[in-house]
Chain A
Amino acid sequence: MVKTGKTAEHKGLSVINSPRRRQLIWNRIWRSRYIYLMILPVVAYFIIFKYVPMWFLRSGFYDYKLLKGFEGSKMVGFKWFERLLTNPDLFRYIKNTLTLNFAALFILFPQPLIFALLLNELRNKKFMKGIQTISYLPHFVSTVVLVSMITTLCSPSIGTIARFVKLMGGTPVNYLSEPRYFVMINVISGFWQSVGWDAVIYISTLAGIDQVLYEAAKIDGANRFQQVLHVSLPGLANTFVLLLIMQVGQLLNVNFEKVYLLQNTLNLSVSEMLPTFTYKTGMESHNYGYATAAGLFNSVISLILVVIANMVSRKVNEISLF
């Protein structure tokens, strides 16, 4: 078998330049001509709008001037990277980036699962449908609107939280200006906006679990909690792990808009992250070279996290309990 394969390949090589062979290749391409025609604009789009920006990453090595382009800008080598690494605030930016994102990850990530499980336990199916529909309404609220709502709620004079604190006998402060509340505000608003939407996939998976399994568990004497533990939860485990890995992959890029809009001069010590620093350096200080370098640095950290997540997932899948 192997031998015949080899000889065939050998033959193929020897006739590769024969006119007949070329004719065959040409025929095959000609048959797919419409496919190539279809691909052409798509490829052009991806090159211009996805690959050219990657090529523009080299502006991290230039003192890039917007109006002059690469030709008119001076090449500065690793100057921006050196400046970034010697920036005394760099450690704080990295710490804030990781804190804000990991707090969101660890606290928020299991919430949709819990929400879906509880929702599934509701006996009144109309009530269940109603809550589900309302729970993903916040997903469609834009970040600008979300942040404005947070500002209103946290306001020391007209906010609901302030009123509540006053009722309890405390003195309200502006919660957005207090660094110690920043992570909490970020997590709670994240919960509000994403829990219902992220639960959709779990709810659909739960609906797909065979009812026979529940019946069998009941017959074996499992109570409701045990049914959830031994039937529902294992059914969701794979989805959970899969989503977790995907989430880690884009960890450092989420949250940017919200954090940027929630920033004010008083909470900057905890709210300045690498992406917001990148944005400000580029778009507010117009130092495009430095900003590109900082953005690249952020991408590198994110890449490291993806690699770690992949490694862990391989381990987890091997020792997977379910």
Chain B
Amino acid sequence: MKQKANQRKSGEYIRRSRGDRIADIIINIWMIILLCFFLYPLLNMISISVSADSAVLGAQVTFFPIGFQTSAYSSILTSPDLWRSFGNTIFVAGIGCGLSLIGLSMAAYPLAFGGKFYGRKLYNIFILFTMWFQGGMIPTFLTMTRLGLHNTFWSLIFNSLMSAYYVVIVRSYFESIPISIVESAHLDGANDFRILLQLIIPLSKPVLATVALWVIVSHWNDYLYPLMFISSREKYTLQLVLKEMVLNAETSTMNISMSTSSGSNIAAALGQQTKNAVLVVAMIPMCILYPFVQRYFVGGVMLGSVKG
């Protein structure tokens, strides 16, 4: 053993044991298998959307496209429904994200820097209680309807504007900021709103970026609440339109694949290509954002775990 330690110190190459090398090989192979597993459904989706008709219907498309055509894309990119839903979703996610950040900062500031104001404990419990107990799906729907927010974007925005979990995350980050900064600003005559706006928010960019991205992604991917709250077609969000287009494509494929004429085969293939093309188009914005934001996301997970 000592010999090995000495070898390491002098920077010499350590010969690995045979068991070690076998373990390495097994782990590497397993990781490559997992890599394929993670990528396969996504690559398959992209490939089907651009492959030739016969390859699609014969289930020959796997990792890479067979043949190449873009007819599915040209048909969906002219669909007004899709573009409008993109606009709606961007609106909801944008406004929702902005209001969330303002609201969460204002919710967390008193807990982190408010000192011992009367009612602090009550306020804390008041917020944390909603983490453990909620009204649930149907009562939330009834409330929104009662408030007259049914079939408006505001129902989606307000429904996920703030949650106790986010407040806890923002607060625990705020608490890592030295309180002396706030105290000296108070002495200089700044009020709490000004301190929040000009000192705390600029210092809390990492946590606010993380929460902002979480909010945007959740709005982008949300299906259930739009399904409940939105009833008119021109207000449909992306996932609703997506689901509808996928369903249309699937039924057309199913109806047509019963018969066997070559004309209907083309239509059946187009149905599948369209379905997958729609999914690809819906994921593009996320994929563009992904490389830039994934570091923030990971940072956020650690922030959340601090509080456990």
Chain A residues within CB distance 8 Å of chain B: 25, 28-29, 32, 34-39, 41-43, 45-46, 48-57, 59, 64, 66, 69, 115, 118-119, 121-123, 127, 131, 133-138, 140-145, 148-149, 151-153, 157-160, 162-163, 192, 196-197, 200-201, 204, 218-219, 221, 223-225, 239, 242, 246, 256-257, 260-261, 275, 278-279, 282-283, 288, 291-292, 295-296, 298-299, 306
Which of chain B's residues has its CB closest to A191's CB?
B37
Q: Tell which of A142, A148, A149 touches B221, judged by Cβ atoms closer than 8 Å.
A: A142
A224 in contact with B23 (CB, 8 Å)? yes
B233 interface residue (CB < 8 Å to A): no
CA separation between A55 and B228, bound complex, in Å?
20
Q: Which B residues touch A295, using CB under 8 A?
A: 136-139
B218 to chain A, nearest CB (A): 10
Known: A49-B143, A122-B27, A153-B41. 19 other contacts (CB 8 A): A34-B192, A35-B117, A38-B196, A42-B106, A53-B136, A53-B139, A53-B140, A54-B134, A121-B24, A135-B34, A136-B294, A140-B290, A144-B239, A144-B242, A145-B279, A148-B279, A160-B40, A288-B142, A306-B132
A-contact bits for B126-170, CB 8 A (1 contact / 0 none): 110010111111111111011100000000001101100000000
A59/B117 contact (C-beta < 8 A), A122-B27, A196-B38, A283-B228 known? no
Interface contacts (Cβ under 8 Å), in number, total 247
A152 in contact with B45 (CB, 8 Å)? yes
A201 to chain B, nearest CB (A): 5
B106 to chain A, nearest CB (A): 5
Can you offer 24 A-B residue contacts whose CB atoms are under 8 A? A29-B117, A32-B114, A34-B192, A36-B117, A38-B106, A53-B134, A53-B139, A57-B139, A59-B138, A66-B142, A142-B221, A142-B242, A143-B223, A144-B239, A145-B242, A148-B242, A153-B44, A157-B57, A192-B38, A200-B301, A223-B17, A224-B23, A278-B137, A295-B136
A201 in contact with B301 (CB, 8 Å)? yes
Q: Tell which of B44, B130, B297 touches A152, judged by Cβ atoms closer than 8 Å.
A: B44
CA separation between A145 and B162, bound complex, in Å?
26
Chain B residues within CB distance 8 Å of chain A: 1, 4-5, 17, 19-20, 23-24, 27-28, 30-31, 34-35, 37-42, 44-45, 48, 56-60, 62, 103, 106-107, 109-110, 114-115, 117-118, 123, 126-127, 130, 132-143, 145-147, 158-159, 161-162, 191-193, 196, 217, 220-224, 227-228, 239, 242-243, 246, 250, 257, 272, 275-276, 279, 282-283, 286, 290, 294, 297-298, 301-302, 305, 308
Q: Tell which of B60, B106, B123, B191 touches A41, judged by Cβ atoms closer than 8 Å.
A: B106
CA separation between A60 and B257, bound complex, in Å?
46
CA separation between A190 and B238, bound complex, in Å?
23
Q: Which B residues touch A192, using CB under 8 A?
A: 37-38, 41
Q: Tell which of A53, A64, A282 touches B143, judged by Cβ atoms closer than 8 Å.
A: A53
Which of chain A's residues has its CB closest to B106's CB?
A38
CA separation between A152 and B117, bound complex, in Å?
58
A160 in contact with B44 (CB, 8 Å)? yes
